[in-house]
Amino acid sequence: MAEKQKTVRLSSRFLGPYRWYLYILYIVAFSCIAILSIRVGWGFAVIQTTVYGWMFYRGVQIIEKFQQVSFDPEFLYVYQKQQDYIIPLENIESVEIESLGGVYKVNLYHPEQLGKELYFKTSLIYPLNYKSKDELVNVLRRNIDKAKARRQSLPHNALMS
């Protein structure tokens, strides 16, 4: 029997506290903007809270998409509170960096229960340790290429029994 490979964690283990920290930071910043805008005038306050409220809402949407991710030579593991997902590496189309803050996007060939794409953040201090974190993502990319090479390609008219 083959020995089980150890999984490698891609995403930050502090993703949960990071989310709560950003929520609190967004609420404090939004409250300060709203209070200072009310002092200037109500019309200005409505415009400012609408614009910054939309920006903060988009920021929260991005943070909510972050997943805890690890991998081994055969599968990508996505950990969530309710359920964990196992995605075969053959199903991954590409892994690309989405922002300078270290957010990566995983594109899937076939939509899973998570959707057609998922996001993970490699490190909370990404710009400072980008070499080691990018090397981990490159290992994942090499494993994806190996898994695609192992995949059997069947003709489109093959009969399955």
pLDDT in tens, 119-133: 888 887 877 888 888
Query: What pLDDT was estimated at residue 1?
Result: 45
Cβ neighbour number for residue 82 with a 10 Å cutoff: 4
Q: What are phi and psi of 149, to 5 degrees?
A: -70, -30
The pLDDT confidence band at residue 107, using thresholds 50, 70 and 90, is very high
pLDDT for residue 158 is more than 80: no
Average pLDDT, the chain: 84
Across the range 143-148, mean pLDDT stands at 90
pLDDT at 2: 54
Both structure tokens of 26: 């967004």
Which pLDDT belongs to residue 154? 66
Write out the two tokens for 108. 């899937």
User: What is the reported pLDDT for 79?
Assistant: 87
As beta bridge partners, residue 79 has 68
How far apart are alpha carbons 161 and 12 in whole angstroms? 43
Q: Are 5 and 143 in contact (CB under 8 A)?
A: no
| Three-point CA angle 129, 132, 135, nearest 5° | 140
Task: Give 142's pLDDT tier (boundaries 50, 70, 90).
Answer: very high
105 three-state secondary structure:
strand
**What pLDDT sits at residue 108?**
92
Domain 68-149 has CATH 3.40.50.2300: no
Which is it for strands 115-121 and 85-88: parallel, antiparallel or unpaired?
A: unpaired
